[in-house]
Amino acid sequence: MESTALVAHLQTVLPEAQIESAPGGDIQTTVYASPDTLHATLKALRERPELRFAFLAELTATDYWPREPRFELVYILVSIEHRLRLRLKVRLPNHDPHVATSSDIWPAANWLEREVWDLFGIAFDGHPDPRRLLMPEDWEGHPLRKDSPVQIQMKPNASEALQVTEDEFRANIMKDRLVRS
């Protein structure tokens, strides 16, 4: 199903949803959905028999800082029954980025949403377990945001310069070759 046909179909099914086709001639069908009707859109994509996107392949985000809207959530959905792939994107603002959870639609979204929250700081309203997944509990901020400061500061650890003569270097190379052969 082409993106324009999919957008037209979704707008007849969900007239309140703001869905638009993505520009460009990409191989994969890409549409944009509004954050406030995202949950209803995802539910329709999964439950409508003519679509039946039963598999959530990926959920990730992109940070376009300093552009506004800053974030884009990217859902990759697969309809095995109809042999379709869909890239659904949601634009989110810099200030308080959040959407409704989709873990009640696809249980696999539980971990994917935790990862997106942990790394980008995008909140999922109604998520059953909104704890950090990859970063330590005491980590401040979200490391994949483009304005996130580097928090690990270590001095270079070098006790002394390596002092090897040419003959010692050749001997070490020969020892290494004997061990490997």
How far the first Cα of the chain sits from its last, in Å, is 58
CA 143 from centroid of its chain's CA atoms: 13
Instruction: Report all structural domains of the chain as residue ranges with CATH numbers, in order of start.
Output: 3-153 (3.30.460.80)
Q: What is the pLDDT along the chain (181 residues), one digit of tens a residue?
A: 676 778 888 888 888 878 888 776 667 888 899 999 999 999 999 999 988 999 999 999 999 999 999 999 999 999 999 888 999 999 999 999 999 999 999 999 999 999 999 999 999 999 999 889 898 888 888 999 998 877 666 666 666 666 778 888 889 888 888 877 6
Q: Residue 173: what residue type?
A: I
pTM of the entire structure? 0.78
CA distances from 58 to 16, 87, 127, 174 (A): 26, 9, 17, 49
The token pair at 89 is 């994107």
116's enclosing H/E stretch is: helix 109-120
- With beta carbons less than 8 A apart as the criterion, state whether 29 and 21 touch: no
> Would you state the structure tokens that stand for residue 4, as one six-digit string?
């324009």
Question: What is the pLDDT, as a whole number, of residue 72?
Answer: 96
Q: What is residue 162's predicted lDDT score, i.e. its pLDDT?
A: 66
Q: What is the DSSP string of 48-104?
A: -TTT---EEEEEEEEE-TTSSS-EEEEEEEEETTTTEEEEEEEEE-SSS-EEE--TT
